[in-house]
Amino acid sequence: MVLHFLIQGRVQGVGFRWFVQREAGELDLRGWVRNTEDGDVEVVASGSAEDLAELRSSLRRGPRGARVDRLVEHYLDDREAAGLTSFRIDGAW
């Protein structure tokens, strides 16, 4: 199962991407997280329905200092998982 999440609120400058990477890594999910130009955080994650549900809960909560106002979620075709490797932060330097 592959899900795309868009997290809106105060989610940049608060360690949100590192929080997501740690949570997803503990769940052994594959995928990536990145900031968007609009100030949101975008996540693509692949794994079991149970693990993705746990990630969803973490995304709603966020790290300390974050405020999640909205979580938008879409299912992606399972073929989207083909190129996904261990969970990583995209665009971090």
- What domain range is 67 assigned to? 2-89
The domain spanning residue 78 has which CATH number? Answer: 3.30.70.100
The rounded distance, in Å, linking the Cα atoms of 33 and 75 is 16
Residues 20, 75, 26: CA angle, nearest 5 degrees: 25
Q: Which residues contact 26 (CB under 8 A, 6 or more apart)?
A: none
Q: What is the pLDDT of residue 85?
A: 87
User: pLDDT tens, 9-62?
Assistant: 999 999 999 999 999 999 999 999 999 999 999 999 999 999 999 999 999 999
Q: What is the pLDDT of residue 21?
A: 97
The rounded distance, in Å, linking the Cα atoms of 12 and 83 is 26
* Active site amino acids: 17, 35
The owner of tokens 């079991």 is: 48
Q: What is the pLDDT of residue 60?
A: 97
- Number of compact structural domains in the chain: 1
Look up the pTM and report it: 0.94
User: pLDDT tens, 49-91?
Assistant: 999 999 999 999 999 999 999 999 999 999 988 989 899 999 7
